[in-house]
Structure 1
Amino acid sequence: MSQETDPSDIDLHEVAEPLRRAIGERYLTYALSTIMHRALPDARDGLKPVHRRILYAMRELKLASDGGFRKSAKISGDVMGNYHPHGDAAIYDAMARLAQDFNVRYPLVDGQGNFGNIDGDNPAASRYTEARMTAAAEALLEGLNENAVNFRENYDGTLTEPEVLPATYPNLLANGSSGIAVGMATNIPPHNIAELCDACLHLIKTPDARDDTLVNLVPGPDFPTGGIIVEPRESILETYRTGRGSFRLRCKYVVEELGRGQWQIVVTEIPYQVQKSKLIEKLAEVIQNKKVPILADVRDESADDVRIILEPKSKNVVPDVLMNTLYRVSDLEVRFSMNMNVLIDGLTPKVCSLKEVLRAFLDHRREILIRRSKHRLEKIDHRLEVLEGYIVAFLNLDRVIEIIRYEDDPRAVMMAEFELSEVQADAILNMRLRSLRKLEELELKKEHDELLQEREGLEELLADEDLQWSRIAEQMKETKKKFGRDYEGGARRTQFAEAGEVEDVPIEAMIEREPITVVCSQMGWIRAMSGHIDLNRELKFKDGDGPRFAFHAETTDRLLLLGTNGRFYTMGASTLPGGRGMGEPLRLMVDLPNECEIVDLFIHEPGRKLLVASSAGDGFIVPEDDVVAQTRTGKQVLNVRGDVVAKVCRPIKGDHVAAVGENRKVLVFPIEELPEMGRGKGVRLQKYKDGGLSDATTFVLEQGLSWLDPAGRTRTETELAEWSGKRASAGRMAPRGFPRDNKFN
């Protein structure tokens, strides 16, 4: 039963709107909040709101760089309760990162206790650690109590917090930043403060400076973990010009001589944001999987410094060859992507160039200078007014004392008698008795004159833009001196080098060439026995298994395997298990499906061509170089469907093809009739009414077609006119003495 809606029940404050618009507006609000108040840093002080609030809360707790430490739980609790209404774990994580000298180029928090390490271990809980500010953090807060920046109410309106910090150095570039907002992200590497100050000084002197000149002064990032940048200068210049790009960063290493020609590589600096423990695991995995056969062992001998030992397989290995190979397969070389997406004036997200970011910082410094100068001017005016009152009081001290002692309203009487302002009268009345002895006319007039002189200088400064930039330049020079080479860790850490042309290192250069004998059983168990053993020698196999392939090879060879699914798989002979046991299943080394069998296994010879054919009698010629696979999954070459499987794989050794069907009919035709392809089903070799292809081979027509008779003797048939025909014809019955298994050899 339906009921009509009572008009009196309708809430007049409810507004009906389409769901699409309602969701869109709310999601946009959320996106803007994430961009402005969480994920993107401000170009002026280089901080996100959480970092700004942490530093401001530490200042309020008076945690100066030369003072005492406080529990991290107290700091993160104050930040959460007063300014940042989010999880205390998130706040503590942000604070802990500011204390990690391997993550932050100029740490803003001085941590005491376990604040994590380069291995990726987490910091201790906030109740176990203590913290205070560093000198670099204090430099960001300098002038905060001089009306340098705007303040806004905190989230509940009980306190105020700064919208941005004054920042005496370009912290955005000095410490870098990274964040993921909604629909945009930022990733800025750290730089050297001294170089940034030089670039700022040049930009002050030449406002329309070229990007090339700025990149001469700031040649690239300066990562806290050091390393070597091998990015070409043209690429770096383009990255700084557009605000987007990447830097190739390599580890730093030395070659240590061990005597008797032995040596080892010692990695002393690893790329930025690479966890050392994971790097060691990756290198160990590279050794286990034999991806770099010339690497024998890796050890971590690090203490406070980084010391990773890389041992070569042989002293004959060239160190550069080993390192160039490891750069490709491990994080000893990484790419740091730069995306200088920042908030301009705290409002507008924009991808900025190096010049634009420095310009935003310098404009901020000019605004700070003007605001602090005006604030100082107000203080001077107030003090001058008070001093003039003191001078009047000094000249009429006895009368002033008499008024204070006997008048009911001394303030009004003094103002009327000596023409004082309220400020002056209050200052005299609030003066302590002990101050009377300090009231000397000369001292008062001296201070008065000095303040007038300072006031005059400030008015000149506020009126002259060139004078303002000169003062900012002086401040930048002081900052450079303070945080330059003499500052702890102020010298540049990341070096530059030419990457050079790294050619593909051939497998032969990485593996010692040794003879082996490859043995593969019928069930697909493979092993490599040392040396070239007698292939007729009896070998041990698992129960129910027996020999199938056995051939001589070398450790530098690559093996090709064709499965009945038509896929070719590639294996390095050096990666095969040793010959002491029964070996290992092939299926553990390549992704050969369980339902597929091995058609053939042989050594790869570059430049050779193969004849491949399916059980249906379709086939083609394929260059052997085209079937080499780069991954475990192999490379599909012969397409087969349904019950059809790959049947034949033979190297081309002649000008004619001989095919024999399960019906024992043989067909011989010129090899030119077969197409050369990289992949496909192929064309029909021989036609059958029933059954399919049994075998196929190639031979030189003049030398005749050979096979092994049942007695094991080689027979050769030179008169082949009877079996010659066009490709895809049926053929004739096999010659007398042809093997019963319908195989040519």
Structure 2
Amino acid sequence: MSQDDDVPHPSTSSEPLSRAIGERYLTYALSTIMHRALPDARDGLKPVHRRILFAMRELKLSPTGGFRKSAKISGDVMGNYHPHGDAAIYDAMARLAQDFAMRYPLVDGQGNYGNIDGDGPAASRYTEARLAHPSEALLDGLAENAVDFRPNYDGTLEEPVVLPAAFPNLLANGASGIAVGMATNIPPHNLDELVEGCLAMIKAPEIAEDALVDLIPGPDFPTGGVIVEPRESIRESYRTGRGAFRLRARWEREDLGRGNWQIVVTEIPYQVQKSKLIERLAELIQTKKVPALADVRDESADDVRIVLEPRARTIEPEMLMGMLFRNSDLEVRFSLNMNVLIDGKVPKVCSLKEVLRAFLDHRREVLCRRAGHRLEKIAHRLEVLGGYIIAYLNLDRVIEIIRTEDEPKPALMAENWAVVDGDRVFLNEVQAEAILNMRLRSLRRLEEMELRAERDGLLAERADLEGLLASEKAQWGRITTELKEIRKQFGKAAPGGARRTSFADAAEVEEVPIEAMIEREPITVILSKMGWIRAMKGHQALDAEVKFKDGDGPGFVLHAETIDRIVALASNGRAYTVLGANLPGGRGMGEPLRLMVDLPNEAEITHLMVPKAGEKFLVVSSDGDGFVVPAEELVAQTRAGKQVLNLREGARWQVCAPVAGDHVACVGENRKLLVFPLEELPEMARGKGVRLQKYKDGGLVDAITFRLAEGLSWKDPAGRTRSEADLSEWLAKRATAGRMAPRGFPRDNKFT
């Protein structure tokens, strides 16, 4: 190790890590925001899209010309302007050609460019492309100094900083992107309405936001659909630049005759992949989350046609679609976040008015720059025409000088030329050069009348342009004319220019109970000891012999109907619910209940029941804590079930008995019986409850409610009913120990 190893190198520097990382990450963030993710408010394009269109223009791929291989285009873009992956460039170009992604496609594609099902485009070597007509309007003026140019990444070429953009492409085609710490999401709009809004802003620059929204009522998606967002919400979204739009599929009821019908979806929401939508609808049928839907078919060809079959013809189509809107992507919320680059530098969340103002100011600058460029061309041409007129009037002398002089240019410039009016003039260098560069064949067309007519026309055009540059009113008048021309070319009267997305009020469909959509039939529900459940058709005898798997046996059996909600109470204090119509048929051994609900492995079913509205139940844990719960609180809405009885560690759900009486009788493992008034128990939806009976050892075995006036009854081991009319010996306050059960009380300490 040399002595110089500890000495810092002259080219190195030291700084805190936090500052070094912060500065570098800020540089990266700014690069992402400005050069990748956010569009420019003036032309609505990100750098990659701008470079693609410019490179295609340089390749002379006009809308009326031939196609070129996409691989050639993406290669040129990558090599000349955009030094990133060719796959990313091709994906960006392919999106510009997709009529289901772009409201006004900027690229005319030939070949497989993907579809609404979500399939991607073919490889770039298989597809071809050229510019579309809207791109011409975006690029028009590039050769006339309309915008600034900057060196490309290696300094060998130049690229435009922004395109001239004859229409507000940012709103017409929308944009989306995620930068560092910010994002943008702008929906596409109808160009005819955008032009109308621009014309209104030119006429009244201080126009109110609400008046502007009346002209531009909302997005116009290429895939159509129906916007059901309230008008006030749309106004607020455009006013602030942030919000969302509820977008629904377009559907219609198709009559099949004899009272039968089906629903046909003809337009799906923007950016929803049709294949995934079909999968979701099929999943809803399989899981019976929307019981009213029986089948779904995709009959789409070039258009969208999704057929939805109802389970019963008595179902209302609006009710079925309302359920599908809530449970699938037939309805989506499209977020609005108009975060754009103002003047290509400053990211800002803009209102609708601010975005249109940025476009109009850009158009005015483009107009002035093009006019200035044209004035320079006119000045140069007038100068040349002056030389041509002199040459025409002195043609023989000009020819003589060219033939005799070794250096004709200085001689032409030194000659005093006489003109018709008697004035004497000299040729300048530009005029002399133009004369010398003329071809001989041009001499026959060198007529004074034509030259003077051209000169007069250019002088008139110059005066017009100078007047244009001197008058702001004239400039806005010219922009108005240009916008009307754009509207004529791409507006609602042009092919594909009519609005595709309509507006409607979101009629909220009332929640229809599932029972109303299911055919009512009697069933016998059987749950085995090992947790296998099934439903036999009809009300079978509860003691009928039923087959079970080896090692399994009967657990619970009850009568129900297909519309009933079957509630299974578990030892962990939770209630789980399954619909009778969803139970497997009785031909096999059924299915494990754990596949239908999220029942933990350590928990077991303690009760199986069909709670009816208005009923109440006494629920008690093995610790002797309990309360009264309404039947409605036992019904769970999710697979995870519903916690009803909160248990101490080691306790389990012991009793769930219907409330029918005014007193409670409970008995513990110690055979002590306690009777107390029912009113001493609280009515709750969930909790631990209160202590029913006090124990030194063991816990509660059983509890029931009964009418004190009728006495307490139970079944003896022989199956005979016995009763005790005088219960004064066991009647006491809740939470006391009680007294030994009467003679003849069952040895298992259960009332039934």
Range class of TM-score, shorter chain = over 0.9
Name the counterpart of 1:613: 620
For structure 2, which runs of at least 5 residues remain unmatched after alignment?
418-425
Offset at residue 15 of structure 1 (A): 2.1
Give the partner amino acid of 2:542: L
Secondary structure, in 3 states, of the residue corresponding to 1:694? strand
Equivalent residue for 2:548?
541
User: 1:338-487 maps to which residues of 2 (within 5 A)?
Assistant: 338-417=336-415, 418=417, 419-487=426-494
Describe how 1:193-232 pairs up with structure 2 within 5 A: 193-232=191-230
Structure 2 counterpart of 1:513: 520
1:15 alignment partner in structure 2: 13
Shift of 1:501: 2.4
Residue type of the partner of 1:579? G
d(CA) in 1 for partners of 2:529, 2:613: 27
Residue 582 of structure 2 corresponds to 575
Shift of residue 98, structure 1, vs aligned partner? 0.8
Query: What percentage of aligned pairs have identical amino acids?
Result: 73
Q: Relative to 1, partners in 2 of residues 1:551 and 1:146: Cα closer, same or farther, differing over 3 Å? A: same
Aligned amino acid, residue 275 of structure 2 = S
Partner of 1:245: 243
| Contact 1:520/1:547 (8 A) holds in 2 | yes
Partner Cα separation in structure 2 for residue 4 and residue 734 of structure 1: 100
Task: Give the distance between the partners of 1:333 and 1:293, measured in 2 at CA.
Answer: 19
Aligned to 2:421: none
The C-alpha deviation readout for 1:273-314, integer Å capped at 9, x for no partner, is 111110010011100001111111111111111111101111
Q: In 2, distance between residues paired with 1:211 and 1:704? A: 78
| TM-superposition CA deviations, 1:542-581 (whole Å, max 9, x none) | 2222222222222222122211111111222221111221
TM-score where L is the length of structure 2: 0.97
Letter of the 1:542 partner, please give it: K
Deviates more, 1:530-539 or 1:469-478: 530-539
| Maintained 8 Å contact 2:319/2:510 | no
Deviations 1:581-639 (A, max 9, x none): 11111100000011111011111323433222211111122333234322111122222
Equivalents in 1 of 2:151, 2:68: separation in Å? 26
Distance 2:649 2:94 in 1: 61
Residues 214-244 of structure 1 show CA distances to partners (whole Å, capped at 9, x for unaligned) of: 1111111101110111111011111111111
Following superposition, the deviation at residue 664 of structure 1 comes to 1.7
Q: CA deviation at 1:696?
A: 1.3
What aligned pairs does 1:544-559 form with structure 2 within 5 A after superposition?
544-559=551-566
* Structure 1 residues 131-179: Cα deviation after superposition (integer angstroms, max 9, x where no partner): 1110011111011111010000100000000010111111101000110
The answer (yes or no) to whether the contact 1:287–1:296 under 8 Å persists in 2 is yes
The more displaced of 156-165 and 544-553 is 544-553
Q: Name the SS of the counterpart of 2:676 in structure 1.
A: strand
Q: Indicate the residue corresponding to 1:150 in structure 2.
A: 148
The 5 Å alignment of 1:517-536 reads 517-536=524-543
Alignment of 1:685-724 (within 5 A): 685-724=692-731
Match among 82, 85, 88 for residue 87 of structure 1: 85
Does the 8 Å CA contact 1:325/1:505 hold for their aligned counterparts? no
**Residue 641 (structure 2) aligns with:** 634
Instruction: Give the structure 2 partner of residue 672 of structure 1.
Output: 679
Corresponding position: 1:729 with 2:727: no
Taking the aligned partners of 2:160 and 2:722, their CA distance within structure 1 comes to 98
Separation (CA, whole Å) in 2 of partners of 1:664 and 1:260: 68
Give the aligned partner of residue 654 of structure 1. Answer: 661
Match status 1:236 vs 2:221:
no
Worse overlay, 650-659 or 275-284: 650-659
Over the aligned positions, Cα root-mean-square deviation in angstroms equals: 1.4
Q: 2:575–2:644: 8 Å Cα contact kept in structure 1?
A: yes
Give, in whole Å, the separation in 1 of the partners of 2:725 and 2:141: 103
Partner residue in 1 for 2:609? 602
Separation (CA, whole Å) in 2 of partners of 1:573 and 1:315: 21
CA distance in 2, matches of 1:715, 1:293: 48
Higher mean C-alpha deviation, range 642-651 or range 39-48? 642-651
Could you report, residue by residue, the CA deviation over 1:12-64 in whole angstroms, capped at 9, with x for unpaired residues? 23221111101000000000000000000011111000000100111111111
Task: Say whether residues 1:494 and 2:501 are aligned partners.
Answer: yes
Question: Separation in 1 of the partners of 2:505 and 2:708?
Answer: 58
Per the alignment, residue 78 of structure 1 pairs with 76
CA contact (8 A) 1:115 1:124 kept: yes
Secondary structure of the residue aligned to 2:736 is: coil
Cα deviations across residues 92-135 of structure 1 (Å, max 9, x unaligned)?
A: 11111111111111111111111111111111111111111100
Equivalent residues, number: 743
Answer yes or no: is the 8 Å Cα contact 2:312–2:517 preserved in 1: no
The letter of the residue matching 1:633 is A
Gap runs ≥5 in structure 1: none
* C-alpha distance in 1 between matches for 2:723 and 2:114: 77
Is contact 1:616-1:692 (8 Å) kept?
Answer: yes
Q: Select 1:111's aligned residue among 86, 93, 109.
A: 109
For residue 508 of structure 1, report the CA deviation from its aligned partner: 2.3
Residue 422 of structure 2: aligned partner: none
- Distance in 2 (CA, whole Å) between partners of 1:349 and 1:667 is 76
